[in-house]
């Protein structure tokens, strides 16, 4: 595709950046409420109501970032969107089913008699788990350029389990921030188990991926880039150690430092995202389609970019307002 001399060179990369930021924000924000959904089966009904209350005001807004990212991919990189959907049709369909389960069960669980609420709670757990597994599987397939073969699919399945652990960590640290008492202490225990599982899985996947894809190997182990990349796992391990120590002393009087585990978990996610982006840049589909080659016409990109710049502040403002209004400790979610 021919590039416009003024806009064609940078607009595709601007859209790739916007898509990446949308997906990162989605993984962080919807990651914690998916994590809470997966953890909800480990408690009784009263504590489960408080857990649902901790995510109730936010979860709809959190999923908006997924819609934004997928929408931008469709309009800015239609060729890439077509390849992704054709290659990942089944996991995308499974994810949508999981999202439907979550949405329906979330709204219905408080509108049915108590003896039937358990069914919807189970559906909420199943939907959360299915969404996390399918998203992890898709990321794993994407990392290896959606190569055929058993090894690539096994890696994607392993990455699905890794994402479950990561979302579980986000959910546990969110509950530490939003809850108190016995539920907060339970969440501290969940976080202590999830943090090391996630970091160990991430380190293992960073070793397996270069073996499966020589392109990733060339990007990650080339000199002098490798000297800079080594810092990322070292920083992640340091952050993990700090969190492990912090979880050992929480809760503190007046709920001091309750925000810190969630903040550290966010930093670990950001580091993982940066490593992922570096491994396949400048491709929009690793090893198959470059960002510049997949972009729509410059004229279309200009119009889409203007619309995105107009909409994005409203979306960010709404998200910030929701978190400000519902700051503080969570209570039971009620529709009365």
Both tokens of residue 4? Answer: 């416009």
d(CA 7, CA 167): 38
User: Which stretch of DSSP H or E encloses residue 29?
Assistant: helix 11-39
d(CA 323, CA 320): 5
pLDDT of residue 214: 72
Q: With a cut of 50, which residues of the chain have pLDDT below it? A: 1-5
pLDDT of residue 244: 92
Task: State the number of CA atoms in the 13 A half-sphere of 220 facing the CB.
Answer: 24
DSSP string, 214-279: HHHHHHHSSTTHHHHHTHHHHHHHHHHHHHHHHHHHPSPGGGTTTTHHHHHHHHHHHHHHHHHHHH
Q: Which residues contact 178 (CB under 8 A, 6 or more apart)?
A: 54, 329, 330
pLDDT of residue 190: 94
pLDDT of residue 4: 45
d(CA 140, CA 324): 35
pLDDT of residue 225: 67
Q: Please check whether residue 209 is in contact with residue 143, taking contact to mean a CB–CB distance below 8 angstroms.
A: yes
Token look-up 């959606």 returns 146
Q: Which residues contact 275 (CB under 8 A, 6 or more apart)?
A: 206, 229, 232
d(CA 154, CA 208): 11
Please give the sequence-ordered ranges of beta strands (E in DSSP) within the chain, or none if there are none. Answer: 283-285, 289-290
User: Which stretch of DSSP H or E encloses residue 190?
Assistant: helix 181-212
d(CA 305, CA 15): 8
d(CA 281, CA 296): 18
d(CA 61, CA 202): 28
Q: Name which of 93, 55, 87, 125 is nearest 289 in CA terms.
A: 87
Residue ranges per domain, the chain? 12-325
Query: 12-325: which CATH topology?
Result: Formate dehydrogenase/DMSO reductase fold (1.20.1630)
Beta bridge partners of 290: 283
């Amino acid at each position: 595709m021919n590039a416009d001399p003024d806009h064609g060179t940078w607009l595709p990369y601007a859209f790739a950046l916007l898509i990446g930021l949308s997906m990162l924000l989605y993984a962080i924000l919807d990651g914690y409420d998916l994590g809470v959904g997966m953890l909800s089966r480990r408690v009784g009904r009263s504590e489960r109501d408080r857990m649902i209350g901790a995510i109730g005001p936010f979860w709809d807004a959190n999923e908006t970032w997924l819609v934004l990212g997928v929408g931008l991919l469709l309009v800015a990189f239609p060729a890439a969107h077509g390849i992704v959907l054709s290659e990942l049709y089944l996991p995308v369909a499974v994810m949508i089913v999981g999202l439907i389960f979550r949405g329906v069960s979330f709204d219905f669980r408080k509108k049915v008699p108590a003896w039937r609420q358990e069914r919807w709670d189970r559906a909420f757990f199943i939907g959360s788990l299915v969404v996390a597994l399918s998203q992890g599987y898709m990321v794993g397939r994407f990392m290896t350029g959606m190569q055929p073969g058993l090894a690539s699919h096994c890696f994607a399945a392993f990455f699905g389990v890794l994402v479950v652990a990561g979302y579980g960590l986000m959910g546990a640290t969110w509950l530490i921030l939003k809850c108190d008492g016995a539920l907060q202490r339970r969440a501290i225990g969940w976080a202590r188990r999830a943090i090391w599982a996630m970091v160990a899985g991430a380190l293992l996947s960073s070793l397996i991926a270069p073996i499966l894809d020589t392109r990733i190997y060339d990007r990650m182990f080339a000199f002098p880039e490798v000297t800079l990349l080594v810092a990322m796992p070292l920083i992640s391990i340091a952050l993990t150690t700090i969190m492990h120590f912090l979880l050992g002393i929480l809760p503190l009087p007046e709920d001091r430092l309750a925000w810190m585990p969630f903040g550290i978990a966010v930093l670990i996610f950001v580091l993982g995202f940066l490593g992922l982006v570096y491994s396949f840049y400048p491709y929009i589909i690793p090893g198959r389609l470059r960002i510049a080659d997949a972009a729509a016409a410059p004229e279309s990109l200009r119009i889409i970019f203007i619309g995105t710049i107009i909409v994005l502040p409203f979306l960010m403002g709404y998200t910030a307002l929701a978190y400000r209004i519902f700051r503080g400790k969570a209570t039971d979610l009620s529709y009365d």
